[in-house]
Structure 1
Amino acid sequence: MRGVDMHTESYIENAIAKPLNKAMIEWFVGHLIRSDADKSDTRLDLVNANLRGLAPVTIINATIDPLRSDGAKLEDALKDADVPVEREVYTGVTHEFFGCAAVVAKAKAAQEYAGKRLRESFR
């Protein structure tokens, strides 16, 4: 897939991480892509899509996540398209941490940050 680069820093660092790792992403992509045309479908390849005119975007990443570098790429693409974007990277937590606020303090902080950004978008 044109927008999936599994050789980034975060894919290499987190190749065997849990709950999400490189092998799992390869499995997902393998089941998602049905033809070569799908590889350049901008619904799957957001970094190479026309992002101009989007509403402000909030990206929340975890350090222990193979998709962390993808978040950075998307942030850069949004900035290049003049879309307001804020990205926060939470250290020491894994992919899917966001839903664990009952037991992970950084998840609670991330949820509060997301709520703040959403409220700001309606002003």
Structure 2
Amino acid sequence: MIINSAAMIYFSPTGTTKKVINFIVAGMGIDNNRLIDITSPKIRNLNSYIISEDIILIGVPVYATHIPKIVEPFLRSLKGNNKPVVLITLYGNMDNGVALNELYSIAKDSEFKVVAVGSFIGEHSFSTE
């Protein structure tokens, strides 16, 4: 499979998840990509989102060992259509918990083809003023 485009879907209140996803896509050498920042409720409240890119990356921070509950309805609304997806979680140097498993379950239920997962340590939301 040739991958020419990527959709990067992320929830990133501190900006760390966004940075990690951008680094991953840069490492993949994909220039044709689209950022879908679901940090804003305005984007999450859209009724449907069409993903036409070749691969999707979904990244979220870990909140108390789980994915942020406010993003779950949006993620469950996505239609994977058997497209490859890379799942990413970031945690604040404490515990990744079950967040990656939750994200995996949502991706499978939404009919994505999970091809890679990764969990990274990032800036904790309480690390700066």
Same fold (TM over 0.5): no
**TM-score of the pair, normalised by structure 2:** 0.32
Looking at secondary structure, tell me which structure has more helix per residue: 1
Rg larger for: 1
Looking at secondary structure, tell me which structure has more strand per residue: 2
**TM-score of the pair, normalised by structure 1:** 0.33
